[in-house]
Amino acid sequence: MFFEIALIGTTASGKTQIANLLAKNFNAVILSLDSLCVYKEINIASAKPSQEELKNLNYFGVNLLSIKEHFNVEMLIQEYQKAKEFALIKNLPLIITGGTGFYLKTMMDGLSQKIEEIKTDLNNDEIYSLMCKIDPDYKVEKNDTYRLKKWLSMYETTKEIPSVFLKRTQKEGILKNIEIYELVWERDLLKKRIGIRTKKMLENGLIEEAKELFSSFNHKLKALNSIGLKECKEYLDGKISFNELENLITTHTAQLAKRQRTFNKKFQSTPLKFNEAFEILKQKFMN
């Protein structure tokens, strides 16, 4: 029977594990909302599902394009439409899951009018400073080149304050009345899980993956500056030791989890403890 739910949570909260378990037991379709899993070349740093899982489960949103190509939320919406059509035809449930809450929120709230990116000689610091002065309601990280340039393009092209422009041109969202479940952890326990996952990623070849990526692609690409890879670059350049590498990845991932936890407060969700989540969700899938 077709229905759709969203399963959210911080990085390392176990979203993929629960989604895969539900998919194995109920043949559910999974749409990944992960900004790194879309890239074919990033496997360990993205904590991507295994090749066996991708082969045996109905996965969408994974391995869509090369790291040198840019992924955006419009592509994700197209992937959602493919996943939903597949689920409807097969009469299967659809699980939307991943750590990029921005994608889910955009699917619920709707996209705004698209603006082509303009060329500029301004660097990130200059754009960020201008944005803080003109449009303090527009929230972007200081090192997010893509979204900073997007903000500047909107400002220069429309001559409007971008946050106002986005609200004025916003279209209706494609996700309506979806049930959202959030995996929750005590912070100390989550920090331990993050540490264990970091150690496992290093044992599984994270440094080797990073070395291959940095030798094959421009190190300035946004995806290569994600947590796990940017620290490996410092290690490969001889700037930090192996122990510092492991500690930095763990620390930065914990900081990301804190930001995700804050962002997820925007959703009206049902909290679930990890060790109870499958049994609780199983009841919904059986009804």
> Could you tell me which residues are annotated as the binding site for substrate?
11-16
Distances (CA, A) of 179 to 122, 129, 271: 43, 39, 11
Binding residues: 9-16
Residue that the structure tokens 């391995």 belong to: 63
List of residues 6+ apart from 152 with CB closer than 8 A? 118, 120, 122, 127, 130, 131
How many Cβ atoms from other residues are within 10 Å of residue 138's Cβ? Answer: 20
**How far is Cα 55 from Cα 39, in angstroms, rounded to an integer?**
16
List of residues 6+ apart from 97 with CB closer than 8 A? 6, 7, 8, 15, 16, 19, 30, 31, 32, 33
**How far is Cα 93 from Cα 87, in angstroms, rounded to an integer?**
6
Binding residues for ATP: 9-16
The tokens describing 153, both together, are 């393009």
**How far is Cα 223 from Cα 230, in angstroms, rounded to an integer?**
9
